[in-house]
Amino acid sequence: MSGRLQPIHLSADSLWSRHGFMDGSPFEFEDRGQDFDDEPPHEDWTILRETMDSSQRADLLELLVRRHLLPAITDATGETPELARIVTAHNPVRDARMGPRNGGDVPATWTAIGVDVTRQQALAAAARILGDRTKTADEGRTTCA
């Protein structure tokens, strides 16, 4: 498998795009800009693809957005975004104001906001989803752990 696993970058403007968060699949490749033919997936992400179905991977994305990105948006803007979770082949986690089909203008204060989620943070969250499907109060209305 390939070398060093890069952090997953979650940007606030992805909440406003149907193709945001690497089209809803930020766990797929070591370098999220590469095509599969250029570089095989990292072993950890291959494990996630093989052990989690697409709904669980969407749960993982939502959980990481709630834990890491939403607090960064709130800290930077004073706004508390409301997420919408939609069933789609594209990005399943969006700002509720965008709607499932609507485009929208990213709030200007959001364009520079982003966080990096480490490999360890992503894999720990995945393990929690796979091992404990109960909802907890600290994750709002998330559909996963």
Residue 7 in contact with residue 22, Cβ under 8 Å?
no
DSSP class of residue 7 equals P
Neighbours of 70 (CB within 10 A): 20
Higher confidence at residue 133 or residue 62?
A: 62
Evaluate whether residue 17 is within a structural domain: yes
Q: What is the pLDDT of residues 70-110, one digit of tens each?
A: 999 999 999 888 899 988 888 999 998 875 556 667 888 88
φ/ψ bin of 24: left (φ > 0), alpha (ψ from -120 to 50), beta (otherwise): left
Evaluate whether residue 35 is within a structural domain: yes
Q: State mean pLDDT over 113-127.
A: 90
DSSP conformation letters of 80-118:
---EEE---SS--EEETTT-SS---PPPGGGTT-EEEE-
Evaluate whether residue 145 is within a structural domain: no
Q: Can you give the pLDDT at residue 89? A: 82
Evaluate whether residue 117 is within a structural domain: yes
Evaluate whether residue 3 is within a structural domain: no
Evaluate whether residue 28 is within a structural domain: yes
User: Using 50, 70 and 90 to split pLDDT, how confident is the model at 54?
Assistant: confident
Residue 13 in contact with residue 20, Cβ under 8 Å?
yes
Evaluate whether residue 133 is within a structural domain: yes
> Can you name the residues that pair with 11 across neighbouring β-strands?
114
Neighbours of 142 (CB within 10 A): 19
> Can you name the residues that pair with 9 across neighbouring β-strands?
116
Residue 30 belongs to what domain range? 8-139
Quote the pTM value.
Answer: 0.76
Total domains, the chain: 1
